[in-house]
Amino acid sequence: MSFFRPTVDTLRAYVPGRQPPLGAQMIKLNTNENPYPPSPKALEALRALDPDELRRYPHPLGDEFRSAAASVVGVDPSWVLAGNGSDDLLTILVRATAGPGRPVVYPTPTYVLYRTLADIQDAPVVEVPFTDDFALPVERLVDARGAVTFVANPNSPSGTATSPQRLGELAAALDGLLVVDEAYAAFADQDALALLDAHRNVVLLRTLSKSHALAGLRLGFAIAHPAVLDGLVKVKDSYNVDAVAARVGAAAILDTAHTARIVTRIQGNRTRLAAGLQRLGCRVWPSQANFVLVRPPGGDAAHVYRELEQRGILVRYFDEPALAEMLRITVGTRLEQDTLMETLESILPPPGQTGR
């Protein structure tokens, strides 16, 4: 006997990357966190929090954060909806749009949560493979006729990006919503903000987890036409952004100078990481995000993953056929990267000694 819906009984639940306890002697390059501290202004806001803010319910739309985010992005606050991380907004989007006969569509490989959310909602899923070089299969995505189509851009785990022009073509051809998940857009050359002017069906998702070093705070936001956000608000939890997140997140997002500094450092470290990995004989996909997709020489990624883990370095291995030979490695500090390189050198065969 089960207490649950059949869907839940058979659900392949999302498995988050491993989170060792704080203080564990590990180099953590597995969940694309920012290796640098959040804005000092955010920490100041946290310390200055009035206890009354905790006693009372927060604003249902996290208004303080919403206004701050809108001013930084350059839109009216009515175009912004805050969430408990962008995962919350993904849940809200699927809940509002998908269901039996209303498909969820996305290119693969990508963020695995899209599938889990569709499954929970009993919605059909259409997965359209990226081409080998991760070009977006626009025509096939259109043909799948999604009630909602997700494109992570830059994509995870590839780190590759599709141009806003191409995304515009997709938006124009779709009847349903196009959600451009821009969790990593701060690290990229371009974002898709301009699409909102021409396409009423586009929703952009941003998060403070990566570029703002606040994954633990749980704060993200959607940017879309107010008419679209009206529909989403109907199905969200009443208080999906807590008082602490709204206050600290507002201070963080307004500190654009701090964000620009740490993002620039990460972009520099990314170039250095990719070059180092290539020197060791790895194939590295061109990344616009704060991680790189890597094929170690010989392609035994599972082995390399385990060896790194034993030596205290966590990277991400996805146990699925399309990614079986690859690792996703978060861009860390230079010191973390030096340790990673030394460790990889001791694990990998010297370049030239594999059948690559």
Ligand X SMILES: Cc1ncc(COP(=O)(O)O)c(C=O)c1O
Residue 129 CB, nearest approach to ligand X (Å):
17
CB nearer to ligand X: pick between 156 and 287: 156
Residue 92 CB, nearest approach to ligand X (Å):
12
- Pattern of binders to ligand X over 23-62, x per CB under 6 A? ---------x------------------------------
Q: Where are the alpha helices (DSSP H) in 280-333?
A: 301-310
CB nearer to ligand X: pick between 183 and 277: 183
Q: What angle do CA 160, 336, 254 make, to 5 degrees?
A: 65
Q: Quote the strand ranges of 188-236, DSSP E.
A: 202-207, 220-223
Instruction: Considering only the stretches 64-72, 85-93, 190-198, 255-263, report the one whose residues sit in contact with ligand X under the rule CB under 6 A.
Output: 85-93
Instruction: Give 82's Cβ-side CA count (13 Å radius).
Output: 31
**105 to 144, contacts with ligand X by CB under 6 A?**
111
In the β-sheet with 125-129, what is the strand arrangement from edge to edge? 80-83, 220-223, 202-207, 177-181, 148-152, 104-108, 125-129
| Cβ-Cβ contacts under 8 Å for 153 (sequence gap 6 or more) | 161, 162, 167, 180, 181, 182, 185, 188, 192
Residue 205 CB, nearest approach to ligand X (Å):
7
**Cα gap 55→16, rounded to integer Å:** 31
Size of the site for ligand X (CB under 6 A): 13
Residue 179 CB, nearest approach to ligand X (Å):
10
Comparing every residue's Cβ against ligand X, the nearest one is: 85
Residue 216 CB, nearest approach to ligand X (Å):
9
Instruction: Considering only the stretches 3-11, 65-73, 84-92, 115-123, report the one whose residues sit in contact with ligand X under the rule CB under 6 A.
Output: 84-92
**Strand partners for 272:** none
Instruction: Considering only the stretches 72-80, 81-89, 126-134, 278-286, report the one whose residues sit in contact with ligand X under the rule CB under 6 A.
Output: 81-89
> What is each CA distance from 227 to 26, 231, 338, in whole angstroms?
46, 7, 49
CB nearer to ligand X: pick between 240 and 343: 240
CB nearer to ligand X: pick between 97 and 156: 156
Torsion of CA 153, 156, 157, 163, to 10 degrees: 0
Residue 188 CB, nearest approach to ligand X (Å):
12
From 38, 58, 62, 85, residue interacting with ligand X (rule: CB under 6 A): 85
Torsion of CA 340, 341, 347, 353, to 10 degrees: 150
**Cα gap 187→263, rounded to integer Å:** 6
Nearest to residue 151, comparing CAs of 188, 120, 108, 118? 108
From 149, 207, 211, 288, residue interacting with ligand X (rule: CB under 6 A): 207
Residue 105 CB, nearest approach to ligand X (Å):
16
Q: Which tokens is 274 given?
A: 């990719």
Nearest to residue 207, comparing CAs of 43, 107, 87? 87
CB nearer to ligand X: pick between 223 and 280: 223
Instruction: Considering only the stretches 22-30, 80-88, 123-131, 259-267, report the one whose residues sit in contact with ligand X under the rule CB under 6 A.
Output: 80-88
**332 DSSP 8-state letter:** -
- Pattern of binders to ligand X over 154-193, x per CB under 6 A? --x------------------------x-x----------
Interface with ligand X, residue 211, by CB under 6 A: no
Applying CB under 6 A, the residues found at the interface with ligand X are 32, 85-87, 111, 152, 156, 181, 183, 207, 209, 215, 220
